[in-house]
Amino acid sequence: MLEPKSFQSIESVNDFVIKFANVNGTGSASANQMFAKAIFRMGIPVSPKNIFPSNIQGLPTWFEVRVSEKGYLGQRGGVDIAVAMNPQSYSKDIDEISEGGYLLYDSTWKRNFNRSDINIIEIPLTQLCVDSFKNPKQRALFKNIAYVGALSALMEIEYEVLEKIISEQFANKPSLIEPNIKALNLGRDYVLDNLDYPIGIKLSRRNLLENKILISGNEAAGLGAVYGGATFCSWYPITPSTSLAEGYEKYAKKYRVDEKSGKNLYASVQAEDELAAVGMAIGANWNGARAFTATSGPGISLMSEFLGLAYFAEIPLVIFNVQRGGPSTGMPTRTQQSDVLACAYASHGDTKHVLLFPADPKDCFDFSAKAFDLADQLQTPVFVVSDLDMGMNDWVCEKFDWDDSISYNRGKVLDYEDLEKLESYGRYLDSDNDGICYRTYPGTHPEKGAYFTRGTSHDEYARYTEDGNINAETLMRLMRKFRTASELVPEPLIEINGEDSCGIIFYGSSKPAVLEAKDILRTKNINVDLMQIRSFPFNLDVWEFIASHDRIYVVEQNRDSQMRTLIMAEGGISAEVLRPLVHFTGDPIEAAYIVNKISEREVNYKSHKNIKER
């Protein structure tokens, strides 16, 4: 039925980008997620990204899905298929479609789009739903399911997979299964009866995702906190971290309610603000419960005074910072890695904090659980620093694993028997010379072990002192403790790819883009060695990698190249060796961007080197 085309249609199997343009608050997200999940279930690597406004209802929202049989799951750029459901953003959405691409829109209201170089697929979605559903709410909602049904025919998504997802999703509300299936069929049957199908972009089962799961980093981190033994969560709502606290509560409700008594073996308190949130977590940790708070950039600013107290009084604490776009209120619903320095040196005075950088939801789970051990071992705040991209979007990652034989490491805590044996107790006596002293919990022993926790300068017995030398000794001991920390935190992951390679340092959610860029660069005869930083303080491996390269690109999603600054400041590394490669639009970094930046500079480097050598 299409007229003869003057352009070449895009043809591809399992390798494309589709973008859904919707109106915020119309129920599109679950339909779009269903689409992504179906592709995941067909064993094809997929990466859905929700691009949403800081708004509840009415503004444009997008959902972009990259499908890549090769497993490249970073943001790609470009749109091969657009499902345009929002007239408000039509012009932008349709402009974005690559030549030869496809546009599916709701043709209940026909439009002329002035693009003769793309395939236009017209489906009267609203009309179909109005004809089939009576309830106005359902009419609006099921448009979304109907286009998923249409796509299943157009792109050869396995129908049974979608059917199964629907029946699982509504297992608790079976009455909703039938109308959802009906809506799915509405779109699907319309295509089968009226349009040419399949289109040039198709899916084909591959089963490449054995041992893989699809989950968001926040939910994974919340689950990790349950596994890590956290019994107390205090938090204040802030995008994009809210779903982390909710994830914790979701799993705690399932696994932390005593069957006999019906009582909770956890507490989750929504605080009045971030100051109270971190204060409560500190109070609970001080009292020997594993406690955490989850926040995002502005929350870190607000918590900073308390963070200095926890650092100086040596109270364990786990803080999740799911970074968003800054500065100030910034871009609450966009991603960045721009709180690295704010976390590393949070609070006034000489403070330094332990940071963990997960790079996918599996890391979020692992590092979340590990953070509680580290915080207890080191008696200091431990930050798990992720970001909106991995925090709020579902990522394909390895299955979670857990070893029941490993016990929590509660660090140096003296119990009643330990105290009985002691002549005298000093909270800040560094008896093991690793900078870490022995804690006691309130209520342990009637005569021994009590001490006064304070943020004022104190001696080894926790007594207030204004003796500057004693305070200086405390500060030096805390440095000693920080060195101990560098031996306990996750080491960097290093990949060496041959002689004369340049280095790339990266961390967090830049990982998929960097891995893809590495492969593309190799096709351009540029070899790169990789170092994925997973924690701060940096350990020896980090310095060795840097010492063995004469030029290293530090890839990060902030303006000021904050990780580079941290490395330079902590290691005395020369600015010339570390070259900033930054991206800070709030959209996830793309491989192509990294490739362009590096090849440009590598060409310069090589020609410069050749001239020198000549």
Partner 1 sequence: MSYIKPINHHPRLEKNKLGLTRRDYEGAISTLCAGCGHDSISACIIEACFQLNIEAYKVAKLSGIGCSSKAPAYFLNQSHGFNSVHGRMPSVATGANCANGDLLYLGISGDGDSASIGIGQFIHAIRRQINMVYFVENNGTYGLTKGQFSATNDLESKNKYGEDNLFKPIDLASMAIQLGASYVARSFSGDRDQLIPLIKGAIQHKGFALLDIISPCVTFNNHDSSTKSYDYIRNHNEAVGKTDFVPLGEEITTSYKSGSSVEVNLHDGSKIALEKVNSKFDPTNPGNSLNYIREKSEEGKLLTGLLYFDESSEDLHETLNLTKTPLNQLKQDELCPGEKALEIINESLS
Contacts of partner 1 in 273-332 (CB under 8 A): 273, 275-289, 291, 305-306, 309
Decide: is 136 part of the binding site for partner 1 (CB under 8 A).
no
Least distance (Å) between residue 305 CB and partner 1: 5
Q: Which is nearer to partner 1, 233 or 528 (CB)?
A: 233
Tell me if 471 contacts partner 1 by CB under 8 A: no
Q: Which is nearer to partner 1, 5 or 253 (CB)?
A: 253
Q: Is 245 in the site for partner 1 (CB under 8 A)?
A: no
Q: 340 vs 217, 412, 583, CA distance in Å?
A: 18, 29, 15
Taking CB under 8 A as the criterion, which residues in 192-221 touch partner 1?
Answer: 212-215
Q: How far is the CB of 373 from partner 1 (least distance, A)?
A: 12
Q: Is 231 in the site for partner 1 (CB under 8 A)?
A: yes
Q: Which one of 126, 239, 465, 599 is in contact with partner 1 (CB under 8 A)?
A: 465
CB of 118 to partner 1, least distance (A): 36
Contact with partner 1 (CB under 8 A): which of 466, 499, 576, 613? 466
Q: Is 440 in the site for partner 1 (CB under 8 A)?
A: yes
CB atoms within 10 A of CB 67: 27
Give the number of other CB atoms < 10 A from CB of residue 547: 11
Least Cβ distance, residue 366 to partner 1 (angstroms): 12
**Cβ 443 to partner 1 shortest distance, Å:** 5
| Residue 531 touches partner 1, criterion: CB under 8 A | no
- Contacts (CB under 8 A) with partner 1, residues 176-195: none
609 is a contact residue toward partner 1 (CB under 8 A): no
By CB under 8 A, residue 140 contacts partner 1: no
Does position 469 interact with partner 1 (CB under 8 A)? The reply is: no
- Name the minimum Å distance from CB 162 to partner 1: 16
Q: Which is nearer to partner 1, 341 or 470 (CB)?
A: 470
Task: Please name the amino acid found at residue 272.
Answer: E
Restricting to residues 386-425, name those near partner 1 by CB under 8 A: 399-404, 407-408
Chain positions 478 to 517 lying near partner 1, rule: CB under 8 A, are: none
| CB 245 to partner 1: min, Å | 15
User: What would the two tokens of residue 565 be?
Assistant: 């600054």
Instruction: Write out the DSSP string of 555-582.
Output: EESSSS-HHHHHHHHHH---TTTEEEEE
Q: Which of 144, 234, 379, 539 is close enough to bind partner 1 by CB under 8 A?
A: 234
Q: Which of residues 445-464 bind partner 1 (CB under 8 A)?
A: 445-447, 450-456, 463-464
How many Cβ atoms sit within 10 Å of the Cβ of residue 577? 17
DSSP string, 317-341: EEEEEEE-B-STT-BTTS---TTHH
Q: Looking up tokens 């690597």, which residue turns up?
A: 45
Three-class secondary structure of residue 459 per DSSP: coil
Minimum CB distance to partner 1, residue 67 (Å) = 18
DSSP label of 414: -
CA pseudo-torsion sign 440, 445, 448, 454 = positive
Q: Quote the least distance from Cβ 292 to partner 1, whole Å.
A: 11
| Cα(213)–Cα(199) distance, integer angstroms | 29
With contact defined as beta carbons under 8 Å apart, do 258 and 265 qualify?
Answer: yes
Cβ contacts of residue 14 below 8 Å, gap of 6+? 44, 67, 68, 69, 202, 203, 204, 206
Question: Which position among 105, 147, 266, 367 is part of the footprint of partner 1 (CB under 8 A)?
Answer: 266
> Contact between 429 and partner 1 (CB under 8 A)?
no
* Number of neighbours of residue 66 by Cβ within 10 angstroms: 24
What is the C-alpha separation between 546 and 577, in angstroms, rounded?
8
Q: Of 331-360, which residues contact partner 1 (CB under 8 A)?
A: none
* Cα distances (angstroms) measured from residue 451 to each of 14, 77, 231, 446: 63, 58, 24, 12
Supply the Cα-derived Rg of the chain in whole angstroms: 27
Q: What is the DSSP letter of 64?
A: E
Which CB, 435 or 449, lies closer to partner 1?
Answer: 449
Q: Which two tokens stand for residue 110?
A: 């026909």
Q: CA–CA separation, 444 vs 419, rounded Å?
A: 9
Helix (H) or strand (E) holding 88: none
Q: Which of residues 59-118 bind partner 1 (CB under 8 A)?
A: none
- Alpha-carbon distance 286 to 442, whole Å? 9
Which C-beta is closer to partner 1: that of 132 or that of 301? Answer: 301
> What is the distance in angstroms between the CA of the first residue and the CA of the last residue of the chain?
64
The verdict on 167 binding partner 1 (CB under 8 A) reads: no
Number of residues that bind partner 1 (CB under 8 A): 72
Piece of the chain touching partner 1 by CB under 8 A; list 153-161, 440-448, 503-511, 592-600: 440-448
The reply to whether 227 sits near partner 1 by the rule CB under 8 A is yes
Phi, psi dihedral angles at 26 (to 5 degrees): -110, 10
